[in-house]
Structure 1
Amino acid sequence: MFLTILNYNRGYRVMLSQALCKTSRSYTTLQLFYLMKKKGFVHSVCSYTALIYGFCREGMQDNVFQWLDFMQNNGCKPNVITYMIIVKFLFDNGKFKEAMNFVSKMERERCNPDLLTYNVILRELFHRDRLDDISELIQVMDQKGLSPDSYSYAALCGGLLKIGKVGDACELLLDIFSNGAADVAVYNIYFQCLCQENKSREALSQLKRKMKVGFKPNNVSYNTMLSGFCKEKKY
């Protein structure tokens, strides 16, 4: 099978590596990786990043850093996606300091974090209730010309909600809505804010109003409403 795969063009080979890693078959990918190298194919940053992603998914920390070193020793420079995958992996495993060290390493190597990387950091800072660091990070994003997207807003408002600052979250959400930069995930957080303040009827009214102008709720929207009404015992 692998010999047939090697006859495909480079794009197909990279896509296959990514698919195998996403299905927790990193060692199969590794076999393909070595076979391709033996056949004379030069691996790109995409190949290495796909393999590192697979090891992260399977929690193989030693393999992650071993292959990062191997990648660099072979003259292949990690890109922002490579680093972002590792940073998120470290955050998910409770290794905040190590993750932030990698962010600093990115900047030293002039591999500037992108908006997605900052969103991952932003979410982690909220989980740790580090409000001063959040404020500083937002200023850094602004200085670099990175405008928050829906994921950023969801991370910001969801973080405020998680640490009990419901009023602040609602205020920020209303500002976001006035700028027209919200998607269903951001509106779901707003509905959750209202329900937490025992305003389930208002949340439902807002949902109906939005649906009349094309808003498409999802399961989270409806479950938030149900949970709010059950909490208030308004069946």
Structure 2
Amino acid sequence: MFLTILNYNRGYRVMLSQLKSKNTCWQELVEIYTGMKRFGPPPVASTFNTLLNGMLLLGDLKHAIFIVEEMYRNHFVPSFTSLSKTLKMAVKVGNLLDGLLVFKLMLRLYARPVEVILLCNCFI
């Protein structure tokens, strides 16, 4: 168990340092994630949040959506703020299908549709 915790901490630290560097590449982040998923320890909420924030920081909508879906499949709930940023990015680049996917997920996860509706009003 101690070795597992060390391996997780090492992978997580590598992700954080990759995001802090100016030469961050989404492929490297995805490789770290798939390595953690394949060989253990399994990713936790902070792993997904770090990856999602990194993809949003890089402006990589495709992989941000992938991380949101992976997070949901692994029974973690993305924050409203993260989903809001992802939705805004999708609408900004004109990717309405991904925007609709994120919007539906927001409605499914959050029983406060007023916040979601108010968020959508700022796009109109």
TM-score bracket, shorter-length normalisation: 0.5 to 0.7
Q: 2:12 aligns with which of 42, 45, 49?
A: 49
Give, as a single letter, the amino acid of the residue that structure 1 aligns with 2:65: M
Give 1:75 shift: 2.1
1:118-151 superposed Cα distances (whole Å, 9 cap, x missing partner): 1231221232134565455334322222547x8x
**Take 1:123 and 1:50, find their aligned partners in 2: how far apart are those partners?**
28
The one-letter amino acid paired with 1:60 is T
CA contact (8 A) 1:80 1:114 kept: no
Q: Percent identity?
A: 14
Measure, in 2, the Cα distance between the counterparts of 1:44 and 1:147: 38
1:95 aligns with 60
Give secondary structure in 1 for the equivalent of 2:52: helix
Q: Is the 8 A contact 2:36 2:42 kept in 1?
A: yes
Select the structure of larger CA radius of gyration.
1
Q: Give, in whole Å, the separation in 1 of the partners of 2:11 and 2:111.
A: 27
CA contact (8 A) 1:126 1:156 kept: no
- Contact 2:52 2:64 (C-alpha < 8 Å) held by counterparts: yes
- After superposition, residues 12-31 of structure 1 pair within 5 angstroms as none
Q: Which runs of no fewer than 5 residues in structure 2 stay unpaired?
A: none
Structure 2 residue 61 is the aligned partner of structure 1 residue 105? no
TM-score of the pair, normalised by structure 2 = 0.62
- In the TM superposition, what are the counterparts of 1:96-175 in structure 2 within 5 Å? 96-130=61-95, 133-134=98-99, 137-145=102-110, 147=112, 157=122, 160=123, 168=124
Cα distance in 2 between the residues matched to 1:135 and 1:65: 24
Structure-1-length-normalised TM-score: 0.38
Q: Could you report, residue by residue, the CA deviation over 1:171-200 in whole angstroms, capped at 9, with x for unpaired residues?
A: xxxxxxxxxxxxxxxxxxxxxxxxxxxxxx
Say whether residues 1:67 and 2:29 are aligned partners: no
Residue 6 of structure 2: SS of its match in structure 1?
coil
Equivalenced residue count is 120
- Checking the alignment, whether the CA contact within 8 Å between 2:4 and 2:41 is kept in structure 1 is no
Gaps of 5+ in 1: 1-36, 161-167, 169-235
Query: What displacement does 1:111 show?
Result: 3.1
RMSD across aligned positions (CA): 3.8
Letter in 2 for 1:126: V
Q: Secondary structure at the match of 1:68?
A: helix
**Greater length-normalized contact order (CA 8 Å, ≥ 6 residues apart):** 2
Question: 1:89 offset after TM fit, Å?
Answer: 2.7
Note closer, same or farther for the CA distance 1:103–1:45 as it changes in structure 2 (3 Å cut). Answer: same
Task: State the shift of 1:52 in Å.
Answer: 0.7
Q: Return closer, same or farther for 1:70/1:131 CA change in 2, 3 Å cut-off.
A: closer
